[in-house]
Amino acid sequence: MTNVDDIISGIDTLRPIPPVAAQIMALAEDENSSMSEIADLIVHDPSLTASILKICNAAYFGLSRRVDSVRDAIVLLGLDEIIELVLLNATAENFRDEPDGYGLGEGELWQHAVLSAYAAKILAESHGFTSQKHLVFTAALLKDIGKIIMGRFVAFSYEKINILVHSRGYSFNEAEKEVIGINHEELGARVGQKWRFGDQLIYMIRHHHMTDKTARDDPETALVYLADIICMMIGFGTGVDGLAYRFYSEVLDRMKLTEKDLQNVIFDTGQRRQKLDKLLYLV
């Protein structure tokens, strides 16, 4: 078995979330925070302001005039859109490279992260979780960050993992844990702890595969899990682990989601995918 401490030390190879983005994430997780607090954080950070204005003035948004301030961007695009751009901009660099071991091509992990974030947001907005949509978006975006570090260890142990998956009925995530001693969920949670994410965000990253039965009772974590499922159902960013993924039908039942509800979200996510393909290369 691989030395787990060696894997955990790989967290230091990641580019940390910029402090202002981490503050925005914390405020987005806090139901008592105000949108004006988040806007003020963005406005008063010169580097972040420059990045956001560059993105907003791209042809992608098709704005009728040039945007020269973040407050203008907020008026034209809405604060929700700006918060999402901040989060995408803060995480993009880590997700750009192709992780070994998971059967994903260059950029596919990043594409999957972004699409699942928007799928989770669609689910949150359409099923009464509006106040938690930024938290759900962030958790879905970052849920697979552990794969960036785990990739080379998975590649080295792939044959053993594959035997457990195909001969003994393990999910890929369960086989990772059995063979390597840690899986990408646990490692992602360790990243969150090191970067001082909020407890709920760490919990959602740690349990997004729903292996722990108690997580299936947590509605926000369930939304992230379902967003992952939706991306796989439309065939987006599905690597070798996606072919050995556990589906828990009781999650749909507990969330009071029908198959038609799920089909509607799948359709909306597929429609958004075409637009997101262009956004991916701006952040």
DSSP characters for 154-179? HHHTHHHHHHHHHHH---HHHHHHHH
Whether the Cβ atoms of residue 222 and residue 255 lie closer than 8 Å to each other: yes
The answer to whether residue 152 sits within a structural domain is: yes
Helix and strand totals (H; E) in the chain: 16, 0
State which residues form the domain around 272.
Answer: 4-13+96-279
* Cα–Cα distance, 282 to 236 (Å, whole number): 20
59 vs 20, higher pLDDT: 20
Q: Which residue has the tokens 């998971």?
A: 102
Which pLDDT tens digit goes with each residue over 119-147? 999 999 888 888 788 899 999 999 999 99
For residue 35, pLDDT over 80 is answered with no
Q: How confident is the model at residue 1 (pLDDT cuts 50, 70, 90)?
A: low
Q: Which two tokens stand for residue 166?
A: 């195909």
Q: Which residue has the tokens 């990043």?
A: 110
In the chain, what is the greatest distance between 2 CA atoms, to the nearest angstrom?
Answer: 60
35 vs 219, higher pLDDT: 219
Whether the Cβ atoms of residue 176 and residue 154 lie closer than 8 Å to each other: yes
The answer to whether residue 70 sits within a structural domain is: no
CATH number, residue 126: 1.10.3210.10
* Cα–Cα distance, 161 to 104 (Å, whole number): 17
Which pLDDT tens digit goes with each residue over 213-244? 999 999 999 999 999 988 888 876 667 776 66
Domains in the chain: how many in total? 1
Question: What's the confidence (pLDDT) of residue 240?
Answer: 77
Question: What's the confidence (pLDDT) of residue 238?
Answer: 67
The answer to whether residue 32 sits within a structural domain is: no
Average of per-residue pLDDT across 14-23: 89
The answer to whether residue 188 sits within a structural domain is: yes
In whole numbers, what is the pLDDT of the chain averaged over residues? 88
The answer to whether residue 250 sits within a structural domain is: yes
For residue 56, pLDDT over 70 is answered with yes
* Cα–Cα distance, 231 to 190 (Å, whole number): 25
The answer to whether residue 35 sits within a structural domain is: no
Please tell me the pTM assigned to this model.
Answer: 0.91
* Cα–Cα distance, 137 to 120 (Å, whole number): 6
Whether the Cβ atoms of residue 45 and residue 24 lie closer than 8 Å to each other: no
The answer to whether residue 234 sits within a structural domain is: yes
Tell me how many degrees the CA angle 173-152-188 measures, rounded to the nearest 5: 50
177 vs 249, higher pLDDT: 177
* Cα–Cα distance, 212 to 128 (Å, whole number): 24
Query: Which residues make Cβ contacts (< 8 Å) with residue 12, sequence separation at least 6?
Result: none
DSSP 142: H
The answer to whether residue 42 sits within a structural domain is: no
